[in-house]
Amino acid sequence: MELRHLKYFLKLAEELSFVRAADKLFISQPPLSRQIKELENELGATLFERNNKRVILTDAGKYYQKEIQELLQNLERINQTTKKISENQSGEFRIAYVSSTFSGDISKLIQFLSNKYPYVNFRLYEVPTVKQIAALESGKIDLGIIRAPLHSPKIESKLWFKDSFSLVFNRNRYDIHSEADFTRLKKETFVFFNKDYAPQFYDALLQICAQYGFNPKVVHESNNISSIIQLVKNGLGVSIVPTTIQKTHNFPELEFVELKKTALFTDILLATPKGNPSEIAQEAIAFLTS
């Protein structure tokens, strides 16, 4: 069994068509069929049911697909880690963050790391938590700044800080003076994170409104904190955002009111692939948490 057998198997399992799979693998159909047959013979198992009309995975094939996907992800992670060790901390270090956590602290981190490791190219990416988790598991990023919860045996994390929630609105449009006035907004338009982009965060915001006795009328959704703030700044609605956002989006038109009644917080985590021996990641975490 060779690595190409596994890659051919996964592509056919994805496409469920010898024609499409062969086309995407840049080979003709007969060699693909032969490679799949060789794999099945070696395993002693039928992975696909095929006839003139369709190709489907057997139960054995579904199990094999799941295990091989994980195997190749681990292999990619091992290859990348080995390469980084061999390069002795040169090359590239990738840091991802969710849009609501970007701050001067992250800029200072990049400056600190660049001075300490002048031969490393540091890359910053804005990536939602769900996609960061997948990227951390596969070794595609080296350090993730994410929002809890995190449930993955392949990732290690450390709490950076706890963030409370605040109401944000255009002070020229809404006559709000304190947290007690929040319920007066129950009929107003709300701007929230897109629930597919940040499902836990979206649910937390709904929970906050429920604690104040109403369901918000969500009209505008975005996957970027800057877009949310811009909509609120333009008077197109109100929102609930992490309190630390005020540090980087403190515009004259905006008013922030911390919602202390909810006693809800969002944990900001510093996450790395489990078992990652990266000295740079350890230095980065130590810098941010010191």
Binned at pLDDT 50, 70 and 90, residue 87 comes out as low
Select from 80, 111, 143 the last residue of a domain: 80
Confidence (pLDDT) at 186: 87
Verify that 155 and 186 share a domain, yes or no. no
| Percent of the chain whose pLDDT exceeds 90 | 60
Could you read off the pLDDT of 43-75 as tens digits, one per residue?
999 999 988 778 999 999 999 999 999 999 888
Verify that 60 and 26 share a domain, yes or no. yes
Pairing of strands 91-97, 143-147: parallel
- In the chain, the DSSP E strands lie at 48-50, 55-57, 91-97, 120-126, 143-147, 155-163, 165-170, 189-193, 217-222, 239-242, 254-258, 266-273
> Residue range 258-285: average pLDDT?
89
Verify that 284 and 152 share a domain, yes or no. yes
pTM: 0.63
Verify that 59 and 182 share a domain, yes or no. no
Confidence (pLDDT) at 112: 96
Verify that 106 and 154 share a domain, yes or no. yes
Residue 89 has pLDDT above 60, yes or no: no
Higher pLDDT, residue 95 or 179: 95
Confidence (pLDDT) at 133: 95
Select from 80, 99, 120 the last residue of a domain: 80
Verify that 254 and 172 share a domain, yes or no. yes
Name every residue whose Cβ is closer than 8 Å to that of residue 165 and which is 6 or more positions away in sequence: 204, 205, 208, 240, 241, 242, 243, 258, 259, 262, 264, 265, 266
Q: 98: helix, coil or strand?
A: coil
Query: Number of structural domains, the chain?
Result: 3
| Residues composing the chain | 290
Residue 88 has pLDDT above 60, yes or no: no
Structural domain boundaries, residue 282: 88-161+267-289
Residue of 191, 199, 182 lying closest to 218 (CA atoms): 191
Q: 58: helix, coil or strand?
A: coil
Contact status, residue 204 vs residue 135, Cβ threshold 8 Å = no
Select from 24, 48, 80 the last residue of a domain: 80
Could you read off the pLDDT of 177-203 as tens digits, one per residue?
888 888 888 889 999 988 887 887 788
> Residue range 223-250: average pLDDT?
91
What are the φ/ψ torsions at residue 204 (nearest 5 degrees)?
-65, -40
Confidence (pLDDT) at 90: 59
The chain-wide mean pLDDT, for the chain, equals: 89
Verify that 31 and 63 share a domain, yes or no. yes
- Expressed in angstroms, the distance from the first to the final Cα of the chain is 50
> Residue range 128-144: average pLDDT?
92
Domain of 30: which CATH number? 1.10.10.10
| Percent of the chain whose pLDDT exceeds 70 | 97
41 residue type, one letter:
N
142 DSSP 8-state letter? S
Any idea which residue has 């039928």 for tokens?
46
Could you read off the pLDDT of 96-108 as tens digits, one per residue?
998 878 778 999 9
26 residue type, one letter:
F
Verify that 38 and 111 share a domain, yes or no. no
Output Rg (C-alpha) for the chain, integer angstroms: 24
